[in-house]
């Protein structure tokens, strides 16, 4: 097991959201490191049940949990997402479904939902 406190962010590949999410974990949750599991619009993939994408996301999340000891996983949506160009309200609904999908994997983690707004600030959707 690696030293330090790890969290896992199932986040968009969009580079604009990586830093705000990482900083949120460090400042608000006291994490040392944040493993990034990225896709274009991952909350849409998780919410809509894209089986191959879900399996890939699950496998990478499981590595973070088993090898780095991550105890906290966030599913993240964001403003101006090219891979999931829908409203904030629709993304919030997808985040709720994505949380349920991740919880169904049975990993020993807490799962939360985050949204990065148009000011590139992190909002908690569900904790």
> Which pLDDT tens digit goes with each residue over 55-100?
999 999 999 999 999 999 999 999 999 999 999 999 999 999 999 9
Other residues' Cβ atoms within 10 Å of the Cβ of residue 18: 18
C-alpha 2: how far from chain center: 21
- Residue 50 pLDDT class (50, 70, 90 cuts): confident
Question: 14-25, pLDDT tens digit by residue?
Answer: 999 999 999 999
CB 62 within 8 A of CB 15: no
Which residues, 6 or more positions from 103, have their beta carbon under 8 angstroms from its beta carbon? 111
Handedness of CA 30, 35, 41, 46 (dihedral sign): negative
**List of long-range contacts for 45-49, beta carbons under 8 Å, 24+ apart:** 46/10, 46/75, 46/94, 46/97, 46/98, 46/101, 46/102, 47/93, 47/94, 47/95, 47/97, 47/98, 47/101, 49/101
> Domains in the chain, please, with CATH?
6-126 (3.40.1050.10)
Query: What's the mean per-residue pLDDT of the chain?
Result: 96
Reported pTM? 0.95
């Amino acid at each position: 097991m690696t030293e330090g406190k790890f969290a896992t962010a199932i986040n968009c590949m969009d580079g604009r959201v990586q830093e705000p999410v990482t900083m949120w974990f460090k400042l608000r949750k006291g994490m040392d490191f944040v493993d990034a599991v990225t896709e274009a619009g991952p909350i849409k993939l998780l919410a809509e049940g894209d089986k191959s994408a879900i399996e890939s996301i699950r496998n990478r999340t499981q590595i973070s949990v088993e090898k780095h000891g991550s105890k906290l996983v966030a599913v993240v949506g964001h403003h101006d997402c090219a891979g999931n160009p829908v409203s904030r309200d629709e993304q919030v609904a997808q985040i709720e479904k994505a949380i349920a999908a991740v919880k169904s994997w049975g990993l020993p983690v807490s799962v939360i939902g985050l949204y990065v707004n148009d000011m590139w600030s992190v909002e908690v959707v569900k904790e």
